[in-house]
Structure 1
């Protein structure tokens, strides 16, 4: 291939990139990088090729080409080549490569082998970002995986306790009780939850009665989500920076989503009502 042909290949690759023709862009950039692996721009070509396959959700190719990109990136400099490799290696369950990628980016992780399961604190994930885009709280297990802590609406297609893989680039922020949290878009479901989502109608005289219901389920590592905590906003606003109160709990007549074994729910609701029968009642349980 002549220099002129190389220039034409490079031009075609980035024309495909600009038009978001990811299959074409990935193929052409990989071809160029493999032809000139020692070129000063080869690291960029490997990275962009891997990114194109990430956009395609072709994780095997994103992993393969991401390793090439990371091999040419500076460690401890927050180079995104390491972050994208960390995501792809996690999905491919190559834990040694994932750990090395996170460390290459500059994330401190303890030594270990096998699946990375840490407690990196709470975070926000947008489930089903190409659909209704529901933002939920989650417990971060590693830089790219999190366990859902809310009970999502049925429309999200997700359940309480599921583990999802999320992207590394924030897409919006939420300020809660004076602290700002980035919102990360879900990439895929990592591990399903065995707990179905049910819905019940409750009447509570006081907000503390609703909190007691939530606490009763949380004690068993189940979930209860009052619909009063759900705020409907447009996609444009969701991807912006918003402020929220930490506690949306209100009293009165409302629905509550429940994540628990179906056969245990009536007994738990009966216990909740029996503690204050003058103030609490429930009806219309629809099990998942």
Structure 2
């Protein structure tokens, strides 16, 4: 690159703009960073890296249309030399997949995942609705992952289990606490950078941060307080609720964790055990008639269980 030749109309070189860009990142000056991102793509329009960096800024700000356009250009300009620097992986393709998913542009999302090297996603324009397994997602992340990032702020931070339907979106399968501002079966856009881990049986799974809520399920959230439950009772109730699309979570077992543990790997040396109680507290999700259609026969078959309270939260 000839720094004397490649100048803006103001006479600034790429080095000047890049240094100002990094300074804006360090200072948290989002407005300046946005102007500099545009200036860099105008100054070096044939360089994939410039479009990728600009697209990353747009991703941080949640401007998904702009992020998609910039990352698409980065993908188009990606060379064999770029691939060698990134071990054959095109990072702009990943961010293009995220942005296209946010926009519901499934044709572009499918092409992006293919360009990134994800197997099993066929071309087309249909909604991607595959089974990528269970994944823990942090709602309302308490720490930004990128400079200038606008993180979802719908309530308190909470990590919930979700069914991952594509590399970038998932459906909440837990019943979130009301304080999180989220509901069972909300659809989430999530990032792909691991931010801590959680255990599922014998497996250690990466936690991903929520980027946006794509769909609010609107399903009511309830709290039930039970006494007298025995081993197997809750599993039987879950097996009744699940096939009807209703949610159940054992809130009496929730662990309230500090931020350091949440972002790391929780272990026995730094535990946040739930308070001991004889009452079983459940989070339930669904419309009241549907819940009672499952709860009433379940209780009738278990005279040892007492439903002390069923409260509609929101």
* TM, length-normalised to structure 1: 0.89
Task: Measure how far apart 1:184 and its partner are.
Answer: 0.4
| The one of 78, 83, 100 aligned to 1:73 | 78
How well do the aligned residues superpose, as a CA RMSD in angstroms?
2.3
Name the SS of the counterpart of 1:193 in structure 2. coil
Name the SS of the counterpart of 1:181 in structure 2. strand
Counterpart residue number, 2:151:
none
Is 1:121 aligned to residue 121 of structure 2?
no
Preserved contact between residue 27 and residue 49 of structure 1 (Cα < 8 Å): no
Is 1:169 aligned to residue 193 of structure 2?
yes
Distance 2:131 2:63 in 1: 28
Counterpart residue number, 2:53:
48
Distance 1:255 1:175 in 2: 22
Is 1:197 aligned to residue 221 of structure 2?
yes
Task: Measure how far apart 1:178 and its partner are.
Answer: 2.1
Distance 1:252 1:210 in 2: 15
Where structure 1 has 5 or more consecutive residues not aligned to the other structure, the ranges are none
| The one of 115, 131, 134 aligned to 1:104 | 115
Counterpart residue number, 1:207:
231
Counterpart residue number, 2:149:
none
- Structure 2 vs 1, CA of residues 257 and 11 (structure 1 numbering), >3 Å: closer, same or farther? same
- Structure 2 vs 1, CA of residues 43 and 17 (structure 1 numbering), >3 Å: closer, same or farther? farther
Preserved contact between residue 227 and residue 305 of structure 2 (Cα < 8 Å): yes
Counterpart residue number, 1:60:
65
Distance 1:50 1:22 in 2: 14
Distance 1:251 1:209 in 2: 17
* TM, length-normalised to structure 2: 0.82
Is 1:270 aligned to residue 313 of structure 2?
no
Task: Measure how far apart 1:285 and its partner are.
Answer: 1.2
Name the SS of the counterpart of 1:61 in structure 2. helix
Structure ranking higher in strand proportion: 1
Name the SS of the counterpart of 1:171 in structure 2. coil
Cα displacement string for residues 141-192 of structure 1 (whole angstroms, at most 9, x for unaligned residues): 1100001111111011111111110011111112332212110001111112
Counterpart residue number, 2:264:
240
Cα displacement string for residues 93-134 of structure 1 (whole angstroms, at most 9, x for unaligned residues): 222211111111111113332221111111111112135321
Preserved contact between residue 188 and residue 211 of structure 2 (Cα < 8 Å): yes
Distance 1:11 1:243 in 2: 41
Counterpart residue number, 2:96:
85
Counterpart residue number, 1:12:
20
**4+ residue runs over 6 A deviation:** none
Where structure 2 has 5 or more consecutive residues not aligned to the other structure, the ranges are 1-7, 143-154, 269-273
| The one of 131, 142, 145 aligned to 2:166 | 142
Preserved contact between residue 93 and residue 112 of structure 2 (Cα < 8 Å): yes
